[in-house]
Structure 1
């Protein structure tokens, strides 16, 4: 008698409900009457997974908050943790320029101006444009912060010494900037005797917490580190009765640049009082020196790119053109009106 032959291998066991489709399949996903599961999990499975993630995220939150608390406990409340030489900024500030460039040219250092501009209408209220008047508007916005004198002291009668701990910051009187503190700051031709713009540029120190500069020691002016200081500034320092200043010295970088423009300083002594230092936060008026770039006779050097450099001078200053330490470099171009 012949036995029936069976195929080798197993037979796949299909799960219950494998042939469901469409709405019936969705209904069983929401609730399965056979197992009591809803949304594909039984009640006991939901309780276990909710309990697990509740504990997991609670512990994770406690760990994260603890790390933040430990981090903030290591920081002072009102001052940076690392200052001066311990910080990345160091104790050798660079110089900044105002007015700043418009946002679209924020990485540029070239003041490209129309030599004979009389246009008094800015591109917009913020002066975000390339017209001469836009530079003046941005300068006006910058100087506007000096109207806030809350929490500042009038130090006009104080000794010209750095402020000690606990003393409030000093008011900076922008009247010392003379015509460079008055709108439109030389960016427009608005005087009958002039036929070309003679812009003002403000020089400011980058703020470094608790930096107290020391004045130049006049006995060291013959040392090699002062070889790049102009003879005019050396003479000014030697003749000055009050030496407690941080000095600023500007010039063209090349002989052709120096022949094309004359630099006038406001205040005329080229210095910033030590009483405006150090910076310790709160309301603060950044001290300024203004330079006015005047033409040297005729002809006007239309279209010439004039390269300029301003250096700060105080005891121990380091000048580095690569990292812009202790100095700032910029360009001026006066373009003829069409």
Structure 2
């Protein structure tokens, strides 16, 4: 059937006079010309082959560029380190156990309820599992070394963290959650390549370091043991200092220097300090500030606490 001459829009002149609905049907498939959406099947095949080849080439080029890029990266060594990194050179502290509530730093332990304090116990047990079971950390089983101040880890080795050294702050003792004298664990945040500058001279200790920690450092007889990133915890206000009560630190009040620097070695785990709050005030929130001490750890930056961690403790 002849409808007349073609126009630039792909329809014959007479076809353009048809109703819109019929024109749409003819555009989708014109049985007279065999065109589908204005093109013959052979034309659609050519276009399909072109774009298939085009996108395959594009994906291949992207894959090659990505492969070349990854060849320049070391999976264990970050490209930007220390001052050039987003983390910077001032490590902070972390604490465990933590609340499941977002942004909450309150540790509220009801020692009278097994069901309630068992929840906090389980969080600590899960946190310490990787320290107790080397197989949970890839590569840790083969390269653990027992380190001390006279025996740092050898090449390719990582220091063991002995959970038995936490004295009463263990799962077997229920972390003393059932005796209104809980144990809280501290860890120093990892910064690749960071080396602490130790307070290795007792007469150069900072003026704001707690007296109890100063006394501990001054009583050390082995000079190698001064190579430690020290840790202290205090009540944040005058009233908190009275409410917090006596504390003990296990195994020592600090992180031994042989754990540093962190170089992302396979199987590495951060050292821990367990703080045993022996007689904190009951049924009241106690604000606690724990600080790490090294010459290159700054505690205040533009009025904001750094190199430390704040949490609240409430015991019932």
Unaligned stretches of 5+ residues in structure 2: 1-11, 135-140
Contact 1:245-1:273 within 8 A present in 2 as well: yes
- Confirm or deny that 1:154 pairs with 2:145: yes
Residues 324 and 62 of structure 1: is their aligned pair in 2 closer, same or farther, counting only changes over 3 Å? farther
Contact 2:202-2:218 within 8 A present in 1 as well: no
Residues 220 and 68 of structure 1: is their aligned pair in 2 closer, same or farther, counting only changes over 3 Å? farther
Counterpart position of 2:103: 107
Counterpart position of 1:211: 194
Distance 1:216 1:89 in 2: 23
Distance 2:57 2:19 in 1: 44
Counterpart position of 1:118: 113
Larger radius of gyration: 1
Contact 1:237-1:243 within 8 A present in 2 as well: yes
- Confirm or deny that 1:167 pairs with 2:163: no
Counterpart position of 2:126: 141
Distance 2:142 2:249 in 1: 26
- C-alpha displacement at 1:154, in angstroms? 3.1
- C-alpha displacement at 1:268, in angstroms? 5.4
Question: 3-state SS of the aligned residue for 2:226?
Answer: coil
Unaligned stretches of 5+ residues in structure 1: 1-11, 122-130, 190-196
Residues 250-261 of structure 1: matches in 2 within 5 Å? 250-261=233-244
Contact 2:143-2:156 within 8 A present in 1 as well: no
Residues 240-251 of structure 1: matches in 2 within 5 Å? 240=220, 241=222, 242-251=225-234
Contact 1:160-1:244 within 8 A present in 2 as well: no
Residues 107 and 137 of structure 1: is their aligned pair in 2 closer, same or farther, counting only changes over 3 Å? same
- C-alpha displacement at 1:113, in angstroms? 2.4
Distance 1:117 1:315 in 2: 43
- C-alpha displacement at 1:203, in angstroms? 0.3
TM-score of the superposition, structure 1-length normalised? 0.77
- C-alpha displacement at 1:135, in angstroms? 0.7
Question: 3-state SS of the aligned residue for 1:41?
Answer: coil
Shift >6 Å, 4+ stretches = none
Counterpart position of 1:188: 178
Distance 1:277 1:74 in 2: 26
Counterpart position of 1:18: 18
- Confirm or deny that 1:306 pairs with 2:314: no
Counterpart position of 2:9: none
Contact 1:265-1:289 within 8 A present in 2 as well: no
Structure (1 or 2) with the greater helix fraction: 2
Q: Single out whichever of 74-83 and 241-250 deviates more from structure 2.
A: 74-83
Distance 2:238 2:250 in 1: 26
TM-score of the superposition, structure 2-length normalised? 0.81
User: CA offsets per residue over residues 244-269 of structure 1, 9 Å max, x none?
Assistant: 21110111111111111224233253
After superposition, the CA RMSD in angstroms is: 2.8
- Confirm or deny that 1:334 pairs with 2:311: no
Equivalent of 2:218, from 238, 242, 245? 238
Distance 1:276 1:177 in 2: 17
